[in-house]
Amino acid sequence: MRRARADSKPPTGWADAHTVARRAVSRCYRRRVASRRTFLKVGLGGSALLALGGLGLGLQSSALVEPLRPLKALSPQRYAVLAAFADAVLPSRGGLPKPRDVGVAQLLDDTFATLDAITVQEIGQVLDLLESPVAGLLLDARTRPFTQLDPDEQRALVTGWSRARIPVLRTAFRALFGLCGAAYWSATQLRGPLGYPGPQPWLLAARELSREQAAGASSPSTAPAVPGTPAAPAVPGTPADPADPAAPEPTP
Amino acid sequence: MTGFIRRGHELTADVVEAPDVCIIGSGAGGAVTAARLAAEGLDVVILEYGGWFTNQEFSLDEAVAFPQLYMGRGAWSTKDAAITILQGRSVGGSTTINWTTSYRTPERILAHWRDRHGSTLDEATLRPHWDAVDQRLNISEWPEDLANANNQVLFRGCRELGWQVHHLRRNVKGCLNSGYCGLGCPVNAKQAMGITYVADAVAAGARVYANVHVDRLVRDGDRISAIEGTVLQQDNENPTGVKVRITPRVTVLSAGAIGSPGILLRSGIDPNGQAGKRTWIHPVGGIPAIFDEPINGFHGAPQSAASHEFIDRGAGKIGFFLEAPPVQPLLISGAHSLIGEQQADFMTKLPHVAIVIALAIDGLLDSEQGGTVGLKGGGVPTLDYDVGPALQETLAASTRAMARIVLAAGAREAMFMHATGPVRLTSEADLHKLDGLSYGALQHPMFTAHVMGGCAMGSDPASSVVDPNLRHHHVENLFVVDGSVLPTSLGVNPSVTIYGIAHWAADAVAAAV
The 10s digit of each residue's pLDDT in B30-51 is 999 999 999 999 999 999 999 9
Kindly report the nearest CA distance between residue A174 and chain B, in angstroms: 6
Chain A residues within an 8 Å CB radius of B84: 178
* Comparison of pLDDT for B458 and A132, the residue scoring more: B458
Confidence of residue A143 (pLDDT cuts 50, 70, 90): confident
B378-391 average pLDDT score: 95
The residue-averaged pLDDT of B162-175 equals 98
CB contact under 8 A, A229 and B54: yes
Whether A223 shows a pLDDT value over 60: the answer reads no
% of residues, chain B, pLDDT over 70: 100
- pLDDT of the residue at B10: 96
B332 contacts A185? CB cut-off 8 A: yes
Average pLDDT over residues A237-251: 38
CA distances from B348 to A75, A94, B287, B333, B478 (A): 33, 12, 17, 11, 51
CB–CB contacts below 8 A, A to B: 251
DSSP collapsed to 3 states, B369-403: CCEEEEEEHHHEEEEECCCCHHHHHHHHHHHHHHH
| Tens of pLDDT, residues B104-124 | 999 999 999 999 999 999 999
Report d(CA B66, CA A111) in Å as an integer: 11
Q: How far apart are CA A244 and CA A247, in angstroms?
A: 6
∠ Cα A210 A215 A220 (to 5°): 120
Burial of B284 (0-12, 13-18, 19+ CB in 10 A): buried
Q: Name which of A3-7, B255-259, B345-349 the model is least confident about.
A: A3-7
Which residues in chain A have their CB less than 8 angstroms from residue B195's CB? 229
Instruction: List pLDDT tens digits, range A51-66.
Output: 666 666 666 788 888 8
Taking the CA of residue A23 and the nearest CA in chain B, the distance in Å comes to 24
Residue of chain B nearest A180, judged by CA positions: B333
| % residues pLDDT > 90 (chain B) | 98
Q: How far is A16 from chain B (nearest CA, A)?
A: 27
Q: What is the mean pLDDT of residues B154-173?
A: 98
pLDDT at B428: 98
The string of DSSP codes covering B212-247 is EEEEEEEEETTEEEEEEEEEE-SSSS-EEEEEEEE-
Res A14: pLDDT: 42
CB atoms within 10 A of CB B469: 15
DSSP states along B457-506: B-S-TTT-SB-TTSBBSS-TTEEE-SGGG-SS--SS-SHHHHHHHHHHHH
Give the model's pLDDT for residue A31.
41
Torsion angles phi and psi, residue B242, rounded to 5: -90, 135
Element (H, E) at B142: strand B139-142
In the three-class reduction of DSSP (H, G, I as helix; E, B as strand; rest coil), residue B208 is classed as strand
| Residue B314: its H or E element | none
pLDDT over 50 (residue A9): no
* pLDDT band for position A232 (cuts 50, 70, 90): very low
ipTM: 0.96
pLDDT at A215: 82
What rounded mean pLDDT belongs to chain A?
74
Q: What is the dihedral of CA B346, B349, B352, B356, to 10 degrees?
A: 30
Question: Which residues of chain B lie closer than 8 angstroms to A102, CB-CB?
Answer: none
What are the φ/ψ torsions at residue B14 (nearest 5 degrees)? -55, 145
The closest of A164, A191, A248, A119 to B174, measured between CA atoms, is A248
Q: Looking at chain B, how many residues does it have?
A: 513
For residue A45, pLDDT over 50 is answered with no
Asked if the Cβ–Cβ distance from A228 to B56 is below 8 Å, we say yes
End-to-end CA distance of chain B: 18
What local confidence, expressed as pLDDT, does residue A50 receive? 62
Question: CA of B442, closest CA in chain A: separation in Å?
Answer: 7
Q: Percent of chain A, pLDDT > 90?
A: 46
Going by DSSP bridges, is the β-strand pair B320-323/B305-306 parallel, antiparallel, or unpaired? unpaired
Q: Could you report the per-residue pLDDT of B199-231, keeping only the tens digit for each?
A: 999 999 999 999 999 999 999 999 999 999 999
What does the pLDDT average to over A119-127? 93
- Dihedral sign computed on CA atoms, order A140, A142, A146, A149: negative
Shortest Cα distance from A63 to chain B (angstroms)? Answer: 21
Average pLDDT over residues A77-99: 95
Query: What share of chain A in percent tops pLDDT 70?
Result: 62
Q: Is the CB of A228 inside 8 Å of chain B's CB atoms? A: yes
Neighbouring C-beta atoms of residue B104, cutoff 10 Å: 20
CB distance A174–B143 less than 8 Å? no
pLDDT higher than 60, residue A36:
no
Whether the predicted pLDDT of B149 surpasses 80: yes
- Give the pLDDT mean for B286-314: 98
Q: Which residue of A has its CA nearest to B54?
A: A228
Whether the pLDDT of residue A25 is over 50: the answer is: no
Q: For the ranges A119-133, A212-226, B227-241, which has the lowest average pLDDT?
A: A212-226
CB contact under 8 A, B329 and A188: no
Name the pLDDT band for A94 (thresholds 50, 70, 90). Answer: confident
Q: What is the mean pLDDT of residues B485-492?
A: 98
What is the Cα–Cα distance from A234 to B386, expressed in whole angstroms? 47
- In angstroms, the CA B196 to CA B199 distance is 5
pLDDT score at A141: 80
pLDDT at residue A18 in the model? 47
Name residue B348's amino acid. Answer: T
Mean pLDDT, all residues of chain B = 97
Question: CB distance A170–B419 less than 8 Å?
Answer: yes
**pLDDT for the residue A245:** 40
Alpha-helical regions (H) of B57-104:
62-69
Is residue A249 less than 8 Å (CB to CB) from chain B?
A: yes
Segment 39-68 of chain A within 8 Å of chain B by CB: 40-41, 43-45
For residue B378, list chain A residues with Cβ-Cβ distance below 8 A. 116-118
**pLDDT beyond 90 at A246:** no
Mean pLDDT, rounded, for A121-132: 93
pLDDT at B75: 86
How does residue B234 score in pLDDT terms, banded at 50, 70 and 90?
A: confident
- Check B339 against A88: CB less than 8 A apart: yes
Is the separation of the CB atoms in B66 and B330 below 8 Å? yes
Q: How far apart are CA B460 and CA B454, in angstroms?
A: 15
The closest CB to that of B80, out of A96, A167, A230, belongs to: A167
The enclosing H or E element of B322 equals strand B320-323
Q: Is the pLDDT of residue B325 over 50?
A: yes
Q: Could you tell me what percentage of chain A is helix, strand and coil, using 3-state DSSP and rounding each to the nearest 5? A: 55, 0, 45
Q: What is the pLDDT of residues B389-408, one digit of tens each?
A: 999 999 999 999 999 999 99
* Confidence (pLDDT) at A54: 62
Is residue A217 over pLDDT 50?
yes
Beta bridge mates, B369: none
Query: What does the pLDDT read at residue A126?
Result: 94
Cβ partners under 8 Å of residue B290, min gap 6: B349, B352, B353, B411, B412, B413, B415
Look at residue A140 in the predicted model and tell me its pLDDT: 80
- Report the range of poorest mean pLDDT among A128-137, A146-155, B270-279, B464-473: A128-137
B60 closest CB neighbour out of A162, A199, A238: A199
A contacts of B35 (beta carbons < 8 Å): none
pLDDT in tens, B415-455: 999 999 999 999 999 999 999 999 999 999 999 999 999 99
Q: Over range A88-106, report the average pLDDT.
A: 94
Whether A24 shows a pLDDT value over 70: the answer reads: no
Identify which of A43, A93, A181 has the shortest CB distance to residue B341. Answer: A93
Whether B307 has a pLDDT exceeding 70, the answer reads: yes
Residue B288 has pLDDT above 90, yes or no: yes
Alpha-carbon Rg for chain B in angstroms: 22
Asked whether the beta carbons of B87 and B76 are under 8 A apart, the reply is: yes
The pLDDT value recorded for residue A233 is: 39
Digit-coded pLDDT (tens) for B69-96 = 999 988 899 999 999 999 999 999 999 9
Interchain proximity A222–B57, CB inside 8 Å: no
Count of Cβ atoms closer than 10 Å to residue A229 Cβ: 18
| C-alpha to C-alpha distance for A189 and B105, rounded to whole angstroms | 43
- B203 to chain A, closest Cα gap in Å: 5
**Residue A248 at interface with chain B, using a CB cutoff of 8 Å:** yes
